Amino acid sequence: MKQMFIGGRWLAAQDGRTIPVVSPADGEAFEQIPRGGAHEVDRAVAAARAALDGPWGRLGATERGRILGRIADAVLAHEDELARIEAQDTGKPTSTARNDIRVLARYFEFYGAAADKVHGQTIPFLPGHQVSLLREPLGVTAHIIPWNYPAQMLGRTVAPALAMGNAAVLKPAEDTSLSALRFAEIATAAGLPEGALNIVTGLGEEAGAALAAHPGIDFVSFTGSNEVGTLVQQAAARHAVKCVLELGGKSPQIVFDDVDAARAVPIIVRAIVQNAGQTCTAGSRLLVQRSIHDRFVSLVAEAFARVRVGTPAMDLDCGPVMNPAQQRRVQRYIDEARAAGIPVLAEGRIEADAPRTGFYVKPTLFGPVPRDAALAREEVFGPVLAALPFDDEADAIRLANGTDYGLLAAVWTENAGRLQRVAKAVRAGQVFMNCYGAGGGVELPFGGTKRSGHGREKGLLALEELSTTKTLVQFHG
Ligand code: NAD
């Protein structure tokens, strides 16, 4: 049985309650985590505040950066173990889990190196005055993350918070808390002072809600569903606390008639099946110019039919989805699209010896999907790709922008002018041109427009989100 990590100590929930940890690959419970709530959140916020007033708060930026660098090295030294934990917890293929651990290390490497490169300014003002702009930590930062990339999400939100000198309280998803708990141990051994990072495990509506509503936090970062994101923002608003929201997506792959198909097809298939489609940045809409629609989509269908699904140890293209609720949700989208008569163009294959008790779904390519169908507008969060034809550039832009979301987009054409025009017209936080970077690129500022959220993570912009400024004005005569 695991314990929570608060103020450098391991703790059970005060009332002793636990949550079973279930393997998505076979549906078996294999571990227990504490079911923390308001009491544990209180303790974690107090521990973070004490860290800011203690040794962690007194460290200079260079020394903080060095600690983050040592954490990156320690994560890499434990890569095998952390990848095993992550694969078992999420069901994802072992090599995907291994990559996630490398990305976790990369976040700490990147933000460790950046910690002492965030500088203030001096500002010309009235004669006889000296003005300086300091960049300071926000204080106690709260981080609520989902289950699709637990280790990567931890790195993405916690590393820049620590680099800027904040003290963090993390609430991992109840389905996937194990890599965060092991990470806390590794980071502490690498020199992270007590209270700088606190981890409260528990249910979203208990521990998560208590954290977002806690009057002692100065910032909240939330990654997850739109429904919960709205609740978190409302809770933060009650204390006028700044909030970064990373929510859903329905990202379009926009394919014009001069596409380099040999390059595009494998990338397009991967962008929807990776992590079993449970990626906010999944390329879940395939928009193809009508003149090449049938030919191009048949190439995608051929590649799609080769997608194989299995356990982490089988290490195939795709694992199971996260839990029975997610399995039902994805299957419902597939069944309803079939029932509505939308043609299935290709299906991947679930390996015969994948356990029947696991949460597997068949990757499915549908097309042509009507523009008003749920599959064309709603986030499935599963390995389901919807192909839709468009007529010309203006129609492509209209269609691409025709959902509530605006997270990622990709444009595929050999026409340089068209690349720029379409990329600028599409409403999204990131646009890839003749490539696709679902989830990749620690260096690249990332975040949503429209209902995909607000605020930016990754890159150096995350350091601005996780800090504030103070303007000092001195009269010197
Ligand atoms: P979710 O919103 O159910 O849960 C996310 C986190 O919020 C979990 O830790 C959960 O315990 C917590 N939570 C649940 N209820 C809460 C409440 N009332 N108050 C506070 N916290 C609460 O989302 P999910 O199902 O775990 O993740 C899937 C969603 O996340 C998808 O919509 C996906 O697009 C989105 N997502 C977005 C990004 C991004 O960067 N934009 C990345 C990954 C996932």
Q: What is the pLDDT of residues 2-46, one digit of tens each?
A: 999 999 999 999 999 999 999 999 999 999 999 999 999 999 999
277 lines ligand 1 (CB under 6 A): no
DSSP code string of 86-139? HHHHH---HHHHHHHHHHHHHHHHHHHHHGGG---EE---STTEEEEEEEEE-S
Cβ proximity of 240 and 442 under 8 Å: no
Ligand 1, atom 34: closest residue by C-alpha? 248
Cβ proximity of 473 and 131 under 8 Å: yes
Q: What percent of the chain has pLDDT over 70?
A: 99
Give the integer Cα–Cα distance in Å for 260 and 235.
Answer: 47
435 included as an active-site residue: no
| Mutational pocket test of ligand 1: of 103, 107, 144, the residue with most ligand atoms within 8 Å of the beta carbon | 144
Helices 61-77 + 150-163 axis angle, to 10: 160
439 lines ligand 1 (CB under 6 A): no
56 lines ligand 1 (CB under 6 A): no
150 lines ligand 1 (CB under 6 A): no
Q: What percent of the chain has pLDDT over 90?
A: 99
**Catalytic pick among 86, 109, 194, 246:** 246
Write down the pTM of the prediction.
0.97
| Mutational pocket test of ligand 1: of 280, 284, 323, the residue with most ligand atoms within 8 Å of the beta carbon | 280
Q: Which residues of 77-110 are buried (b: 16+ CB within 10 A; e: fewer)?
A: ebeeebbbbbbbbbbbbbebbbbbbbbbbbbbbb
pLDDT at residue 438, rounded to an integer: 66
Average pLDDT for 179-184: 98
206 lines ligand 1 (CB under 6 A): no
pLDDT at residue 284, rounded to an integer: 98
Angle at 172 between CA 148 and CA 427, to 5 degrees: 50
Among candidate residues 383, 191, 157, the one with its CA nearest the CA of residue 277? 383
Q: What is the pLDDT of residues 429-465, one digit of tens each?
A: 999 999 998 667 999 999 999 999 999 999 999 999 9
Point out the ligand 1 atom lying closest to the alpha carbon of residue 457.
Answer: 40
Give the integer Cα–Cα distance in Å for 227 and 242.
Answer: 18
CA distances from 35 to 16, 201, 289, 346 (A): 8, 6, 51, 42
Residue reference for tokens 């609740």: 231
Long-range contact set of residues 181-185: C-beta below 8 Å, sequence gap at least 24 = 181/2, 181/3, 181/4, 181/5, 181/33, 182/78, 182/81, 182/82, 182/85, 183/75, 183/82, 183/104, 183/151, 183/154, 184/5, 185/5
Domains and CATH numbers, the chain: 4-247+454-474 (3.40.605.10), 252-441 (3.40.309.10)
268 lines ligand 1 (CB under 6 A): no
Ligand 1, atom 22: closest residue by C-alpha? 204
Beta bridge partners of 171: 144
Give the integer Cα–Cα distance in Å for 272 and 401.
Answer: 19
**Ligand 1 centre from 12 Cα, in Å?**
24
Angle at 90 between CA 443 and CA 272, to 5 degrees: 60
Cβ proximity of 453 and 245 under 8 Å: yes
Among candidate residues 211, 217, 207, 187, the one with its CA nearest the CA of residue 13? 207
Q: What is the pLDDT of residues 229-256, one digit of tens each?
A: 999 999 999 999 999 999 999 999 999 9
As a whole number, the mean pLDDT across the chain is: 98
Find out whether the peptide bond into 215 is cis, omega within 30 degrees of 0.
no
Ligand 1, atom 35: closest residue by C-alpha? 224
Q: What is the pLDDT of residues 81-115, one digit of tens each?
A: 999 999 999 999 999 999 999 999 999 999 999 99
